[in-house]
Each structure stands twice: as C-alpha cells, then as structure tokens.
Amino acid sequence: MTRLDVRLERFERPVGALTSADDGSLSFVYEPDYLADPARVPISLSFPLQGEAFGDTTTRAFFRNLLPENDQLDQVVEREGLDKSDVVGLLRHLGADLSGALSCLPEGAPPVKVPGHLADDYVTLTQEQLERIVTRLGTSQPLPDELRDPSPVAGIQRKVALSETPEGFAVPKPGSGAPTTHILKVPDTALPREAFYEARCAQLARELGFDVAPSRSTWIAGYEVLIATRYDRRIDDGRVYRIHQEDFAQALGLPPRLKYEREGRPGRAFDAAAIARLLRATAVPAEAVLAFLRATFFNLAVGNTDNHAKNHALLYGSGTAPRLAPLYDLVPIRLSQRHNHLFSFRIGQATELDTLTGDDILALLAAFGLEGPRAARFLQREIVPLIEPLMNAGETDNEWQKRLNVQIKEDTGRILELVASLVRRPLTGRAAASAARLAEGASR
C-alpha cells in the first residue's frame, strides 16, 4: 500500500490522504482534523466534505486529471520505470506543484507550496535560457535542468510554468515553494498561427465583457508562443498566492479520456445535463448558468468547438461552493483542416455547427432551465447583443487576421439567423446583411 498526503497551500496540515492499495485500487479520504476546521473547503465537487473514504472510480478520475497528457509525462514514465495507470506512483514524482493550490506528497513530507515574493523568490532567465526552453518544448525534448521543478503543467499541449517579474521571465528559486504566474505554450503546427489566434480570441472575449485569463502571443527562437496569465494565482502587494481550482472533468468525476461527450455514455458524460448539475452546485448558480451559456455562444461564434471538460474550471475561495474560473484556451479550431469540428458536447441533437438548428438551441437552453418566453428573452437580451458586434470586424491587410474575421462573420451570421427565427424579431444592420447573404447562398 502506498499513501500520499494531499495538501492545500493555505492549510498547515494535510487535508486528506490518497492511497493505492495492494490490488491497485485508489481511495481518498479527508483528514478528521481538516473536517473540523471552520475554514475547510472541498477539494472537488466530486469529493464533498465527509468522513467516509471515496472509492476507486471517483478518486482515479480526479487525480488522473492532475497529470499532464503530453511528452513530459512519457519522460517521467520512462525515467522512473512506471506504468501510466500508476496514478499514485506518478504523483510521487509530479505532485509537488500541481495546478491550483493542491499538492500530493509522500506521507509525512513537509509542505512545499508557500506564497512567493516577486522581488526575492525568483531567478530571472536569460534570453538564451528562455530560447533553449522554447526550442526544447518545440522539439519535444526534455526541459533544461533548471525547469525540472516545478512539475509540468497538466494538459496535452507543449507548455511550461514560468513567472513574469519586473525583470523578465523567471523560475522560482529551488526549494522556495513559490508559485509560478504564467504558462508558456508552444502550439504544434496543426493550426498555423494558433498562438496568435488564441490571443486574439481572448482579446475579443475581454472586449465583450467576459472574465478571461489574459494572454498574448510573441516570437521566441523562431516559434510563435502564447504567454497566458494563470487564473489560479493572486498577486497582492508583490506576493503571489495560489488559488485552489479544478476543471469540469474533475468536478464531474470524469477521467481525461471522457472530456468530450462523444467519448462517454448516458449518465457518465460531459453533456448539457451534467454541466447544468455542476453549475447548480456553484456559489451563485444563476450567475454561473448565465456566464456559461454566454461563453457557449461566444465559442460557437469564434469557432472554438474544443471547449471540452478540461477547458472549463472552477475556483475555490473562502466558502465551500466554487465559482466559475475565467475563460481560457479560446482557440478557433474551425480554422484548422487537421482537426475535426465536432462539438465538445452536443447542443440539442447537433454535433457540429453545420447541422445546428433552432430546435437544438432551444433544447440546450431547456437543459439549463430556460424554456418558452424565458428562452426567447434570453436570446434577445443576452445573446444577440453579445455576438452581434463580432460582425463588425473591419478590413485588414493581415492575412491571418482576415481568415479569422471571415470565419467569425460566417459562423456568427449563421447563429444570428437561427436566433432571429426563435425570437420572432427581424435582424438589423450587419446581422441582417449577413443573414441575407446566407439565405441567398442557400438558394443558389
């Protein structure tokens, strides 16, 4: 039997224990002292506060989602002679700095996560070091020794956690336990200029009033990279704090391979019904539902059909109920010819934008408790004003921006046309012109 202490940054003692039994089954249980702490919070919606242990299925799903899904995991597996199914064994090596404020450490080990001082706890990287990091990520080579700790960031893309200080990019001093503040991603070539497109979609979301993790694209060592601000961090007067978070897959008890609805089965899938249940468990359910539905229509409009269960998250503050995290990973995947364009979760019966109907939109809203006149008012008051400005992209000489503008206008126009048929009111301005062009094209 192997046991790891599960810790949260702001608590001095372990909050629980992750155990792998001799037969390979996993379990998680909260520590009694933690349950008695007035400041306690659940580490997941799938782990409500209780004294009984949680079984293998829920435990394996939650903790497996903390591990990276890329070459960095393979390197640890090969170096340590582990099996990919050995979640506890992998977390012994990768659990020191997991996403958010969580860590998994050998039993009895002291805490390794503490707040950081931007002025004292970081070592600035030289330009040569930064270029070497990007080059190794871009060619799937092991990271330089100075970045073996902190642990790799969970996810499929090639990325690494860094910090940005007034002096430039930096890494926490060895043994400091200080948090990183940014994630540097080197996208693959399946979607050329992906970093540029993701940064642009984040900018559009911010302009439309969304809470979105800031990001920007830049060129380093011949690679266009994305620099994304970590939404699970808080900087206050030069000190950096971690915020506990979990993605929707963890909250729903789904393993990473079920992050798309099509990979699951009824009752165990990332579908609209499951998402609605999750949102009802947040601190302010009505606000969460509104924010999620607005984000869903925005994603449709910008071509981000890859908004799967690991691309939505929850943040935990001082209360026991979480709130929605800012939007992140906003990639217009419909521009890529090397990816499928299937929805991450069905909208009504539709699995892709080209087959979406008005009835599908109504079915989606009904799953979140909006039906009849309420659904029509929601579409008219929330969705039309939200996405109609996306039709106003001006002319540009940038061919990459032009590609994005054309795709967004086409997809937004289609959505507005469907919405107009549901709210029984005529479109105006650019939305009307777009709908007319679509109708003319369909008649040819």
What is the 3 state secondary structure string of the chain? Answer: CEEEEEEECCCCCCCEEEEECCCCCEEEEECHHHHCCCCCCCCECCECCCCCCECHHHHHHHHHCCCCCCHHHHHHHHHHCCCCCCHHHHHHHHHHHCCCCEEEEECCCCCCCCCEECCCCEEECCHHHHHHHHHHHHCCCCCCHHHCCCCCCCCCCEEEEEEEECCEEEEECCCCCCCCCEEEEECCCCCCCHHHHHHHHHHHHHHCCCCECCEEEEEECCEEEEEEECCCEEEECCEEEECEEEEHHHHCCCCHHHCCHHHCECCECCCHHHHHHHHHCCCCHHHHHHHHHHHHHHHHHHCCCCCCHHHCEEEECCCCCCEECCECCCCCHHHCCCCCCCCCCCECCECCHHHCCHHHHHHHHHHCCCCCHHHHHHHHHHHHHHHHHHHHCCCCCCHHHHHHHHHHHHHHHHHHHHHHHHHCCCCCHHHHHHHHHHHHHHHC
Buried b or exposed e, range 31-42, using 16+ CB within 10 angstroms: beebeeeeebbb
What is d(CA 275, CA 368) in angstroms, rounded to the nearest whole number? 9
Q: How many CB atoms lie within 10 A of CB 286?
A: 11
Catalytic, out of 97, 232, 271, 306: 306
Which residues contact residue 420 at a Cβ distance below 8 angstroms, ignoring those fewer than 6 apart?
A: 426, 427, 431, 435
Say whether 306 is catalytic. yes
For the annotated catalytic residues, the residue numbers are 306
